[in-house]
Homo-oligomer: A and B are copies of this chain.
Amino acid sequence: MTDHTVKSYDRDLESLGRRISEMGGVAEKMLAEAMDALSNLDVELAKRVVASDARLDTLQREIEESAVMTIARRQPLAIDLRECIAAIRISGDIERIGDLAKNIAKRTLKIASEARLPRAIVGLKSMHEIAATQLKDALDAYALRDEERARTVWMNDADLDALEDSVFRDLLTFMMEDPRNISFCTHLLFCSKNLERIGDHTTNIAETVVYLVTGESMPLERPKARPGVLGAGGDASHE
């Protein structure tokens, strides 16, 4: 490669990283606002969350196209090939995190007019705190190429799963106490599942960071799912 080629190649990779960073910021904001909308049954905020998802879709498509074209044009090897593959994987996971936040916002639209049960949302807020911290750490790990931080995210995902089990039982109890809670709590069950799946995708991002830095895949003994190689498909075994 000439110096010129190398530089334009570096620019390709920089541009991928910059757009992933933008995607991460949008997804974090969507998640925080979706939970605010749910807590306050704020229909207007929920609608804004739904609308902001389009930006993530656009960015993901751009990143995928750029990464594939970079692979095709530059024939990168080793670390540079991993940079491109990591960009495809991580943009896919962030796009899905945005979808899941959007789903929480859509649930808010559905239940805004129903009987409220504030104590039913307490457990979801705790799940959100963990999910938001994990997401921030995973995105930081990617930005800093910090393998150790990524491994910590990977280890901590089990906390969110345990909390989801507990939220599931609580919501079932509320439904059994009073049939008027059934519809409201059913929608919260799906919100809780969405938060847990956000945790899965966050863990996927952490796995991708380890792969990016070390070239190795994470072991299969992940608390609940196994790592994929490329796509956003490497999650959801836990549902």
Contact = CB atoms under 8 A, between A and B. Distances in A.
Interface in A129-164: none
Contacts of A89: 231
Contact of A72 (B53, B65, B71, B237): B71
Contact of A232 (B53, B73, B233, B239): B233
Specify how many copies of this chain sit in the oligomer. Answer: 2
Nearest to A182: B175
A239 B182 contact: no
A64 B190 contact: no
A228 interface: yes
A210 to B, nearest CB: 16
Contacts of A26: none
A53 B236 CA distance: 12
B182 A231 contact: no
Contacts of A194: 239
A193 to B, nearest CB: 7
A230 B68 CA distance: 9
A78 to B, nearest CB: 11
A106 to B, nearest CB: 7
A55 interface: no
Interface in A66-118: 68, 71-73, 75-77, 81, 85, 88-89, 91-93, 95-96, 99-100, 102-103, 106
28 contacts: A53-B237, A60-B228, A61-B229, A64-B229, A64-B230, A64-B231, A65-B230, A68-B71, A68-B85, A71-B71, A72-B81, A88-B230, A91-B231, A92-B230, A95-B231, A96-B233, A96-B236, A99-B235, A99-B237, A100-B236, A172-B186, A175-B179, A186-B186, A190-B193, A190-B239, A230-B231, A231-B233, A232-B232
